[in-house]
Homo-oligomer: A and B are copies of this chain.
Amino acid sequence: MGEPRVCDIGEREVIRRIRRRLPAPPDWLRTPIGDDAAVVRPPRNRDEVITTDAMVEGIHFDRSYVSPAAIGAKALAVNLSDLAAMGAEPRLALLSLILPADTTVNDLDSLVDGMLEMAGRHGVTLAGGNVSRSPGPLVVDVTAIGSVKARDVLLRRGARPGDAIYVSGAVGAARAGLLSLRGAQGTAGQAPGDGLEELRARFLVPEPRVRLGLLLARNRVASACMDLSDGLADAVRGVTAAGRVGAIIEAEALPIPAAARRVFEAAALDTIDAALEGGEDYELLFTVPRRRRRALAAVLARVPGVACAHIGHVTAARRIVLRREGVERALPAGYSHFTG
């Protein structure tokens, strides 16, 4: 017996189950899901921002400690984070779901519900998609589309010497959360509390900084912006390379949560390096010209839940320097899903 699996109900019924979970479509979605493609009326006087990112079982998540709801929510969140980094308002998403035949129908429902909860919170319509069978891992591939006024768009390039460098939220939290989850799987399980749940939550379902990105863009606060999908070091590298500038990062200013520091220490990792290299934080790194710092303060007052730390500044010299206890050295390399 056992629970019903997707191979028992077939592709059509899988699609039917997903459709049944969708809220009523907005009027700009001109076709209901189920035609060959979605027909969408674009917003007026806006550019479109389009991104795609996949989550692959065994690479990005492990089903033994990541719930289907978290997989679905995160698969959308990482795409919304890319839109946030461009200052775009998210609008719609397409879901390409590649399912092992033994996926249970309950897990399918939970995955979709997790994604739809994240979508609802950010005003995103699931406008279409595709279901395939997988002979191997579960793959959740999402395309997200948002819109932005052409003159407001945030790019990686644009940072100028003297601009202050900020990062939202916490860095290293997702990596520490993952370490904690993995530790809890092994024999050396850690006691709950002490902020570990918060770290784990940051890894499991990151909160894309949609509203922050939108406000930075609309108020012309940021000269450059990028998200931290591959870690803070990678984002600093990305923004400085695109702008043909350098940076000095102050190690002491990095917003590394105390609980993450304890996790890194327990794992015999250098706290600063671990936080800089840790991927999957999905925070925003952005640079702010001196004349826009007052405007930044006004923006930050409008996103009370999201602290932004001033972690360094942009330099004309094209080196990336980490200043730590008075000593300057090169920034460690970023994180790579691919070779890592």
Contacts and interface: CB of A to CB of B under 8 A. Distances in A.
Contacts of A128: 50-52
Interface stretch (A83-91, A170-178, A198-206, A308-316): A83-91
B137 A50 contact: no
Contacts of A86: 35-37, 39
A41 interface: yes
A74 interface: no
A135 B136 contact: yes
- Classify chain A's interface size: 35 or more
B56 A37 contact: no
A227 to B, nearest CB: 6
Interface string A304-326: 00000000000000000000000
A71 B270 CA distance: 44
A94 B113 CA distance: 25
Contact of A127 (B47, B50, B133): B50
A50 B134 CA distance: 23
Interface in A23-55: 30-31, 34-42, 46-54
Interface string A127-155: 11111111111010101011010100101
A296 to B, nearest CB: 20
Interface stretch (A116-124, A161-169, A250-258, A332-340): A332-340
12 contacts: A14-B338, A30-B150, A31-B153, A36-B156, A36-B227, A37-B146, A42-B48, A52-B96, A54-B96, A57-B135, A58-B135, A136-B137
**4 closest A-B pairs by CB:** A136-B136, A11-B338, A37-B51, A58-B135
Interface of A: 6-7, 10-12, 14, 30-31, 34-42, 46-54, 56-60, 82-83, 85-86, 88, 92, 94-96, 98, 127-137, 139, 141, 143, 145-146, 148, 150, 153, 155-156, 226-227, 242, 336-339
